[in-house]
Amino acid sequence: MPLERRHARIPAAIAIVALAAFAVLWLVARTAFMRGVVADAIGDAAGLPATVESLGISLFPSPALEIGGLTIAQPPGFGAEPFATIGRLRGRIPWSGIVRIAEVREISAADATIRLVVDTAGVSNWSKLGEADSPGAGPAKAREMPEWAVGSLRIERGAVDYRDLAAGTQWQLAAISLDATGIEPARDFPFDLKLGGVFGTNTMHFALAGQGHIDAEAERYEGRSLKFRGWIGGEPLPLAGAELEGELARASYHSTTGAAIADDGRFRFAGIPGRFRGRADLDAHSAEATASVATDIFAPRPTAIILGRPLPATADPAAFGSLQLALAARLQAGALRLEPVSGRLDDTNFEASLAPAERYLRARLDRIDLNRYLPKVAAPAATSGPKATLEAMAAQLATLDIDAEIHVGEARVAGAVLHDAVIRVEREMAP
């Protein structure tokens, strides 16, 4: 009997020791010393100073660490606001992880803001991450990537603020939420991302879901079989805004080169169906991006209404009946250029080059009946000559305040046929 009573006391003793250890850890975690230890570890990993406001530890149902008020400082020369702030960061591991952390049951973050800045010299603040190596340190040694897995990743109320001082551009993503499960290296895992954004006078909402893929050793991150939907509003769109939906076969980002690539995408935006692919070089001095877009045939009049730019009534009601476009776009130093642009409007094939910010347009048309596209109330009389019709067309273009030059191989004008006609419109320059 005495031996049996001793055995019965062992579980109770273990429970008492565990509770005592938990009480000690709970008290230690709330000391300034332990907050400093955790902040130093985070700062060493980021290469930037870090501070922690609060720290909590729990052991049930499994060990967990919660960090409150985490702040990572901005690199010198990029402003006074922190590089990152996180209201709450929580991680939980299985009991086996106390000996060797290879699996994290849960990672969650709430109220996190990251501030990305490109200075006037074109240098990004994120390029300064991890630069706190000692001056005498030699080249980094190749190391084997450890095994790891994350059971659940959740982000709530995240935000990203981007400012490019070299290009004078700024945008913000907000209300970011992310849910992902079963994350392991070189394996697909499901995820669901939602966010909002502000770009100048425009506001947008966006949702993306699909399969993620992480190759940490190659520093490559991919999304596959993606489906997206969204909405954009603000000037010049009407109050209802415009809706977007589609799918993307693959989107990838390679952190060593800063290249983000989108392949084999399909979309429907403001009633326009089409296909796209693109690339962004985020590690350049100033972010650069290229994209190619090709639409299916669509009716431009309903789309123009959705975009807040209704097309006028024309002499021929069938004018602007169909349109198909293919274009290449390039964004560099904050300026967008569309070149080449090709397509077919009704019976007219065209090629063009546009720079929207400069209000620049150069175009070539194979043939067109200009009478069809004049406003209905301004349709010329049968006795009007081609000169009057061309002048009416030029006057209509002049109201757009653009620098335009349009070459037409064959133009039908007021009963005449003109070959190699040229329409030029110059912007009114301020005195």
pLDDT tens, residue by residue, 34-88: 788 888 888 898 889 999 999 888 877 888 889 999 999 999 989 889 999 999 9
Average pLDDT on 78-103 reads 84
Q: pLDDT above 70 covers what percent of the chain?
A: 80
* The predicted structure's pLDDT at residue 394: 63
* The predicted structure's pLDDT at residue 98: 64
Residue 249 CA to residue 267 CA, distance in Å, equals 12
Residue 289 CA to residue 30 CA, distance in Å, equals 47
Which token pair is 263? 């392949």
Confidence of residue 176 (pLDDT cuts 50, 70, 90): very high
Backbone φ and ψ for 261, nearest 5 degrees, come out as -130, 135
* The predicted structure's pLDDT at residue 100: 63
Average pLDDT on 234-249 reads 90
Average pLDDT on 334-339 reads 89
Confidence of residue 403 (pLDDT cuts 50, 70, 90): confident
* The predicted structure's pLDDT at residue 373: 82
Q: Measured between alpha carbons, how far apart are the two ends of the chain, in Å?
A: 108
Tokens 């994120």 -> residue: 126
Does residue 14 surpass a pLDDT of 60? no
Q: 10 Å Cβ neighbour count for 287?
A: 24
The whole-chain average pLDDT of the chain stands at 84
Average pLDDT on 234-261 reads 90
Give the three-state DSSP class for 357.
helix
Lowest mean pLDDT segment, chosen from 89-98, 112-121, 212-221, 386-395: 386-395
Confidence of residue 395 (pLDDT cuts 50, 70, 90): low
Q: Which residue has the higher pLDDT, 228 or 288?
A: 228
Average pLDDT on 112-124 reads 91
Return the closest-CA partner of residue 38 out of 5, 11, 71.
Answer: 71
Average pLDDT on 294-311 reads 93
Q: Torsion-angle region of residue 61: left (phi > 0), alpha (psi -120 to 50) or beta?
A: alpha
Amino acid at 374: L
Lowest mean pLDDT segment, chosen from 196-200, 276-280, 380-384: 380-384
Q: Which residues contact 288 (CB under 8 A, 6 or more apart)?
A: 280, 281, 330, 331, 332
Q: Which residue has the higher pLDDT, 154 or 32?
A: 154
Do β-strands 50-51 and 272-281 pair in parallel, antiparallel, or remain unpaired? unpaired
Tokens 């960090």 -> residue: 67
* The predicted structure's pLDDT at residue 6: 44
* The predicted structure's pLDDT at residue 110: 96
Q: pLDDT above 90 covers what percent of the chain?
A: 48
Confidence of residue 242 (pLDDT cuts 50, 70, 90): very high
Does residue 26 surpass a pLDDT of 80? no
Average pLDDT on 198-214 reads 93
Q: Is 109 exposed, middle or buried (0-12, 13-18, 19+ CB in 10 A)?
A: buried
Does residue 292 surpass a pLDDT of 80? yes
Task: State the pTM of this model.
Answer: 0.76
Lowest mean pLDDT segment, chosen from 85-94, 99-108, 280-289: 280-289
Average pLDDT on 227-243 reads 89
Tokens 């043939």 -> residue: 367
